[in-house]
Every structure is written in structure tokens, then in C-alpha cells.
Structure 1
Amino acid sequence: MPETRLLPPDDAGLDAAAEILRAGGRVALPTETVYGLGADARSDAAVAGIFAAKDRPAFNPLIVHVADLAAAARHVELSDTARHLAAAFWPGPLTLVLPLKAQAGIAPLVTAGLPTLAIRVPAHPLAQDLLRRFAGPIAAPSANPSGRVSATEARHVMAGLSGRIEAVLDGGACAVGLESTIIGFGPDGTARLLRPGGIAKEAAEAVLGAPLLPPAPEAGITSPGQLLSHYAPSGRVRLGATEPRAGETMVGFGAVRGDLNLSERGDLAEAAARLFTVFHRLDEMGAKAIAVAPVPEEGLGLAINDRLRRAAAPRD
């Protein structure tokens, strides 16, 4: 593998990124949520390259990014409820898990053998530009080694994947900083929250006019982001702390102070945007034991706490 190229956010960089994708290579691209590791979703070999670069388990499905609702409709069956959610939140940090159309042309590795596809329309202008230049669906999980902290800056991608992928398209820092909210649908059409993320649960429920149900307990892994241990810094993480124990690096929130802070103002949007940056900083500091202040379980706090619990989960 040649040295990973850092591509500028201009016409030359975008053209180079599209050419790499057309040749079956991998390009990390910025979205409004986190950086995604993109490859041609129609190519078995290109998608296999994503799994190889990330050391990602093959039973963990990928999200496919498309330019607009019309492109999504070429690959999945869109119910009226799905269209309603798409109209409200696309382009944006919402992923819908929908029945895969026959002859959709998506590589089987993308869906991990499931009859559904996780799909979204990103809002980041560079992601949109690249999708239109490439003129095809891009499979793009988060651009980090599997189970580690998601990348919200190009330098985070380079730190984790340099030498494993062809290029990184540098789009600066991601505005949302958390992965997309993932919503799927039961056999009766009821909407289920498969992963909390950049769209608050309450906002989606307001559009639906009904509560989002939790994932069906017997369903197993039905979408990305459902592994128990995930999004983890190198050090061990303890949650709900109001002060550090001996040897711990403290991550504060609001009135709880720390060595690093998600948001001194107690602002959940700021905390969401800073979460993975703080995780990366902890790794740079060499933190071996990490204590994290409580974060309210409301709004974007639901997604923040989901990531924190997965970061704190026992690891093999």
C-alpha cells in the first residue's frame, strides 16, 4: 500500500477522490457527523477493502451514502413513514434501515447478509460534491479502526488508518461530531430506534407523531453501531463520576470540572461535537484510567451516553 494521500477540499482533491473510488480504492470523506471510510458500495472487492482496513467484523453491516432521496429509492423500498422522515431530516444525520430492492446492485458484504440496507443522505457539502462526481452509492462506516474512537478531523483518520487506505479528503472538523441516528421498521411498520445519534429522539418522534420503540430484543445486530464495545479510547472508562479516583483522568461536563471537559456550559450539542475529539485527546495524553461526569439522558444526551456506555463496556 502506498502512502495515504491527504487531499485538499478543492476541485483537484474531489476529482482525485472520485477517481480513487472508481478504481476500487478507499477514501475517507468528511460528513456532518464523523469522517466515513468510503468505497464503491457496488463492488465486492472495494467493500472488502473497507473491512480489511478497519479490521471490522464481517457480520457488522455498513451504511451506504447517496446524494438524494431519488438515489435512495433506487436501492431500497421507501414506505410512507420512511419518506416522511427523509423529508424532515435529509440531507442530515439520519440513517434509515429499509428493505433492499431486488437488483439494487449493492455488494452483499455491505448488508452482512441481511435483507435490509442502512442508507442516508449526508449534508456535508464535500460529501455531496463527491457523491455527485462519483455518481454512485458510497459505503462508508466511520473512518477508524474497528471498535476505536470515530474520527471527527482528518488528522484523526490519518492517526488510525494511514498506510491502510488510499486517501483522506480533508474537510476540517465535523460539525455534529456524533454518528447518525439509525431508525428501522418492524414488520408492522412501527419505527424503532436502532442507534441514537445526531438527530435527537424527541425530534424524530415529533415528526412521526408516535414514540420510537427500542430494537426488538431477539433481532441481534440489524444495523451498524450495535456492538456492545465500541467507540473506545485506549484507557478504561468509568461513568457517572463526580470526581476522579487516584490515577484517573477526569472528563467533566457542566458543573463537574475535569482535566478535559465536554462542555463547561452543560450544552449537549457542544458535548456531542466534542466527545470524540476528547476521546482522541485522552489517547494522545496516554490516559490509562478515565472518569467521565454524568451527562443528562435527554436530547442529544441519549446518543452521548450510548457512546459512553459502549466505550466503558468490557473488552476482550
Structure 2
Amino acid sequence: MAEILAVGEAMERALALLAGGDVVAIPTETVYGLAGDATNGVGVARIFEAKGRPRFNPLIAHVADLAMAERIARFDPLSEKLARAFWPGPLTLVLPQRPGNGIHPLVTAGLDTIALRMPRGFGGELIARLGHPLAAPSANSSGKISATTAEAVAADLGSRIKLVVDGGATPVGLESTIVKVEAGTLRLLRPGGVAAEEIEAAVGMKLLRGAVAGIEAPGMLASHYAPGAAMRLNAEKVEAGEALLAFGGRRAEGWQAVVALKNLSVSGDLREAAANLFAYMQDLDRSGAKTIAVEPIPFDGLGEAINDRLSRAAAPRDIIPSET
């Protein structure tokens, strides 16, 4: 089983594993990431192996600073403005790659673009010490619920990796927002820890939604973030034998008879709800219920990202995504 070390004790062990082409589960402000040296093909391959992740699904490369990012990708003025406004933080930018940037092709899944993010805390310090960017998708089995605690990582991947760095519960609780600048427009590829309204306010322009063609960034598979139980969204009534993922102060009809109940935020705070989402989904999945009913959640602010994760968790599990 994986060794679990606190952030204050884990740096040298993590560096040794990464330098040797291995992977390490690390805390970030969003969710826990399964990190490997993005320039080392063996390390990147081990990420895919440990997660069981489709190899046509690209990874985010995490950087220590803007200078490292600019050695990897070309920044247009709008992307640079976004980086300076939101880095370090939960925003990922999809940018054209620079030739000879050293990033292993497995990271980008054959695309001529790369997704870059600058994390806070231990992750940023680790990258700076290593001197290389880290490829780091969420530290969970592919398609399953993202981990927001070291214990959740160990329960899922503990038999497949050597080290989990414990930084406590992640404060944001949702993966990063992913955006891409295209011909002077700004496109939202995945809602996440930075609300669309914050981005629009920072740059003074509206975000377009969705990719133009195929999978352009991580987290775009139709079925993703899924528990073992089925998910039923926007539930106004709870059926017998279901668990309930609640939100706010008003309960769905029949809630008294649920198998288990977790309220993302009694006060209706979307930031609190985002931080609790994955952990509460895991708790309800362990309740034995075959279905998790989810009360309606507003789409404003971080509600857009929460609803995105819930819709992917509820999607049919037999979807075969296109490799284009």
C-alpha cells in the first residue's frame, strides 16, 4: 500500500520518486493530483497505467511560474492577462505548444496544444524543486469520483502507487476551469474552480461554451466523475431506497425515508457545495443505495461547474468517446 506522508515530511521522498520516473499523489487547491514528470515518458505512462486512463485523453501540465509556462507554450496577450490575473490558482489555459518544449507526447495526446496550470502550495514548490513541469490529472481511477483527501486517494489507488502526500482536504474541491483563446474569442472548455463570471469580469468579454471539435482538454469525456451508484439529477421527489445529495434548506419530497443524506451546503453557499461535492458523493456511494438522487442546484457562479460534474457523473457508463 502507498505510504502517506504529511506535506512537511514528503518533499524529498516525492522528488526522488519523480526523478526516478515514478508517480506521486499530491494535494492541490482543487483536488488531489497524480503527478509525474511531464518530460519523462515512463513517468507519464505510469499515470495512465495507475488511473486506467484512455491515452487519447490529454493531461494538464503544471508549472511553477510563468517563465516555465512560456518555455512550453506560446502566450497571446489575452492568455497572458488571464495567467497574471488567476495564477497560481484553479485556472487552466489551453495554448499552442512551442516546438522542442520537452513535454512528452503522451501528455498532449497528439494535440498541437497543451493545457497549463500553476498550482498553489506544495505542488508549486515541488515543481520548482524538480525543475520540470508535472503532468497531474486527478488522483483517482479514470472516470470515477475525484479525490479531495489523502485517505480517498489511498482507498482508490493505494495498491498502485508508492506515495500519497497528505495536505488535508482540498479547499476548492473541484477541478480547474479550462479556457482556450481562439481568434480573439475566449472559449470555456470545462467549468471549474474559477467561475465564468470572474473570468469575464477580468478580461471584459463573454465566454463561449464548449469545444469546437472533439476532446481538446482534460475532463471533457461525456461520462466522468462517476460513483458506482446511478445518479438522478434535479430530483424533486426521492424514491424508496435512494440516497439523497441535498442542497440548501428545502428538501425533496420523501426525503425522510432515504438510505443516507448529505447536504452540500445547508445555507446554499455554492463555494461550500463545490468543496464538499466529491467527498459527499463518495460517502453516499458507500451507503449501499443503488441510486443517488440529487436536488436541484443553481447554475450561477460555481454552480455551473458543480452541475457539469453531476451531469457527467450521471451520464450513461457505456459511452465510447471519439478519439478525434
Query: Is TM > 0.5 for Structure 1 vs Structure 2?
Result: yes
Task: List, as ranges, runs of 4+ consecutive aligned residues in structure 1 with deviation greater than 2 Å.
Answer: 255-258
Where do residues 242-257 of structure 1 align in structure 2 (5 Å cutoff)? 242-257=236-251
- Select 1:14's aligned residue among 7, 11, 14: 11
Equivalents in 2 of 1:118, 1:245: separation in Å? 42
Which residue of 2 is the match for residue 274 of structure 1?
Answer: 276
Corresponding position: 1:147 with 2:143: yes
Deviation at 1:134, TM superposition (A): 1.4
One-letter identity of the residue aligned with 2:169: A
Structure 1 window deviating more from structure 2 (241-250 vs 31-40): it is 241-250
- Select 2:111's aligned residue among 106, 111, 114: 114
Deviation at 1:183, TM superposition (A): 0.3
Deviation at 1:286, TM superposition (A): 2.4
User: What TM-score, normalized by structure 1, do the two folds share?
Assistant: 0.96
Deviation at 1:282, TM superposition (A): 1.5
Instruction: Determine helix, strand or coil for the equivalent of 1:285.
Output: coil
- Select 1:48's aligned residue among 42, 45, 54: 45
Structure 1 window deviating more from structure 2 (64-73 vs 281-290): it is 281-290
Which residue of 1 is the match for residue 306 of structure 2?
Answer: 304
Which residue of 2 is the match for residue 166 of structure 1?
Answer: 162
Contact in 1 for aligned 2:245/2:281 (Cα 8 Å): no
In structure 2, stretches of 5+ residues that fail to align are: 256-260, 319-324
Equivalents in 2 of 1:287, 1:192: separation in Å? 38
Equivalents in 2 of 1:260, 1:113: separation in Å? 41
Which residue of 2 is the match for residue 228 of structure 1?
Answer: 222
Which residue of 2 is the match for residue 74 of structure 1?
Answer: 71
Which residue of 1 is the match for residue 82 of structure 2?
Answer: 85
- Select 2:132's aligned residue among 129, 136, 151: 136
Which residue of 2 is the match for residue 287 of structure 1?
Answer: 289
Equivalents in 2 of 1:155, 1:168: separation in Å? 9
Contact in 2 for aligned 1:275/1:304 (Cα 8 Å): yes
Cα RMSD of the aligned pairs, angstroms, is 1.0
Equivalents in 2 of 1:256, 1:228: separation in Å? 30
After superposition, the C-alpha distances for 1:140-178 in whole angstroms (9 at most, x for unaligned) are 000000000000000010011011112111111000000
Equivalents in 1 of 2:112, 2:79: separation in Å? 17
Structure 1 window deviating more from structure 2 (58-67 vs 246-255): it is 246-255
Corresponding position: 1:177 with 2:173: yes
One-letter identity of the residue aligned with 1:161: L
User: What TM-score, normalized by structure 2, do the two folds share?
Assistant: 0.94
Which residue of 1 is the match for residue 258 of structure 2?
Answer: none
Cα gap change, 1:216/1:38 in structure 2, threshold over 3 Å: closer, same or farther?
closer
One-letter identity of the residue aligned with 2:199: A
Identity %: 55
Equivalents in 2 of 1:270, 1:277: separation in Å? 12
One-letter identity of the residue aligned with 1:224: P
- Select 1:202's aligned residue among 194, 197, 200: 197
In structure 1, stretches of 5+ residues that fail to align are: none
Alignment size in residue pairs: 310
Instruction: Determine helix, strand or coil for the equivalent of 2:7.
Output: coil
One-letter identity of the residue aligned with 2:304: L
One-letter identity of the residue aligned with 1:119: L
Instruction: Determine helix, strand or coil for the equivalent of 2:209.
Output: coil
One-letter identity of the residue aligned with 2:2: T
Contact in 2 for aligned 1:243/1:250 (Cα 8 Å): no
Deviation at 1:8, TM superposition (A): 2.1
Deviation at 1:284, TM superposition (A): 2.3
Which residue of 1 is the match for residue 321 of structure 2?
Answer: none
After superposition, the C-alpha distances for 1:86-113 in whole angstroms (9 at most, x for unaligned) are 1110000000000010010000000000
Contact in 2 for aligned 1:33/1:175 (Cα 8 Å): yes
- Select 1:214's aligned residue among 209, 212, 220: 209
